[in-house]
Chain A
């Protein structure tokens, strides 16, 4: 379980201070899939980096289980927008990279890496080099790398944003399969409202500058999820509610400006 308690974060010094996150509180359950959506500059990526311990919050605290996160921790899996695989290592060695860095490699772990790759539809590609794979396959390798230490939490920063729309949908379904085989807390940052609703149990909606939680939408779609559910009333009402938060303010502002012009 992750507990984010009244976390604020500011960049820069003195007069140039920019508030990236303001008073964010959120609890994510052990096997819960939480998506974060919001416009650019709402501090989504900052939130992930804070949880990974890569940066320290200006105030507030983050607990992973009972432990306070105060330094970079290997107990969260990281998946980024670009696969960032090691170009010199084959697929299997890329997945094993975290274990090598932490000197945790064992025959058993190699077996686990093979199982993960098989689950991700990459059986037979273990010896291939990253530049021989498509973007979607590279990102699946990156997800396996994020899962290899079986972390309690997987942090995903717009993992499918660089993929084409069809691959993206397919990857979402594959991620859900992986997740149901290895349940864990997932915090999934995305720009795509339908993607967030399709994948997550709860969708956290954030506002920009400073990033605040505007709403948390519970998605009451049954699991396993499928693409057909996009037609469901629940799916529609969730996406509508999220979009209202994101675009609603702007629409109101535009309406006010137009009225002012007329007057």
Chain B
């Protein structure tokens, strides 16, 4: 039986990689994918604690997070398509209309 700390460190590693992706990538689609990776890392934690306590509530929360990720991906990609139609770019540092 693996100890819970192994799963926590796996989740930590995925979370950190996702954060680095969010702050370093310029392509907005890849930034959205990194956010999906962060949500997924949180899901590992929730399922692990649901397993530790033998309680299904953690898995219910993980299910809600998956539904949230679906909603966020749909709205985010809709925004990206609308933006690309106007500005012909998906790079984050060319989205500077509000920049002073």
Query: Is the pairing of A and B real?
Result: no
Chain B residues within CB distance 8 Å of chain A = none
Chain A residues within CB distance 8 Å of chain B = none
